[in-house]
Amino acid sequence: MDGTLLDKYYDDYFWERFLPEVYGARNGLDFDRARRHLFDHYRSVKRTLMWTDLDYWSETLGLDIISLKKEVSHLITPLPHVPEFLTFLKNQHKSVYLVTAAHRKSLQIKMDRVDLRHFFDRLICADELGRPKEDQGFWRELQDLIGFDCERTLFADDNLEVLNAARGHGIRHLVHMARPSSKEPRNQSDGFPSIATFSELM
């Protein structure tokens, strides 16, 4: 979802700028020290379900992460051509699933701001399957849940580790989102077809 359907700038700003400012102010740390402390913690749980678990971060940092995320929710926006592409898929009578690493409470905040729910047959968070998307087991669980055909499935993501896990499971059509944040330049992948926006698939 983030960096594929929604502009990743919101998440980048929240975790890399806004949260260090708040955490530093609450704990008597300057911005650089607060940022280093948080980044060390981020790295320690990356590729685990804890990384996206808002309840985990609230408890660990002693902050109301959900309220803080809502404070900057005006930054939540779809990437270019996302509604048009989702409409195109529905008009083609395709089954469409949102499969996200986002915590369900984060998903709620984002869908309340930019409601794309009506485009999807189902919205699935990684914590529902008990594994991060980088884990091969995630894709086995997902296939058991929705019964997709690997040969006919298209999966798009901005995370190369996730795309490699999907490839390892046998998903044939994989697309790398080369510009997940509107504030960053295009980042081409050598291992997967890359697109900047979904207009390139229509």
Phi, psi of 47 (to 5 degrees): 70, 20
Query: Across residues 151-163, what is the average pLDDT?
Result: 97
Residue with tokens 């949260």: 19
Query: Across residues 12-27, what is the average pLDDT?
Result: 98
User: Per the structure block, which two tokens stand in for 53?
Assistant: 């678990």
pLDDT of residue 89: 97
- Going from N- to C-terminal start, the domains of the chain cover 1-202
- For 113-128, the pLDDT digits (tens) are 999 999 999 999 999 9
How open is the CA angle 189-194-199, to the nearest 5 degrees? 160
Predicted structure pTM score = 0.95
Sorting pLDDT into bands at 50, 70 and 90, what band is 199? very high
- Identify the CATH number of the domain defined by range 1-202: 3.40.50.1000
Burial class (CB in 10 A: 0-12, 13-18, 19+), 82: buried
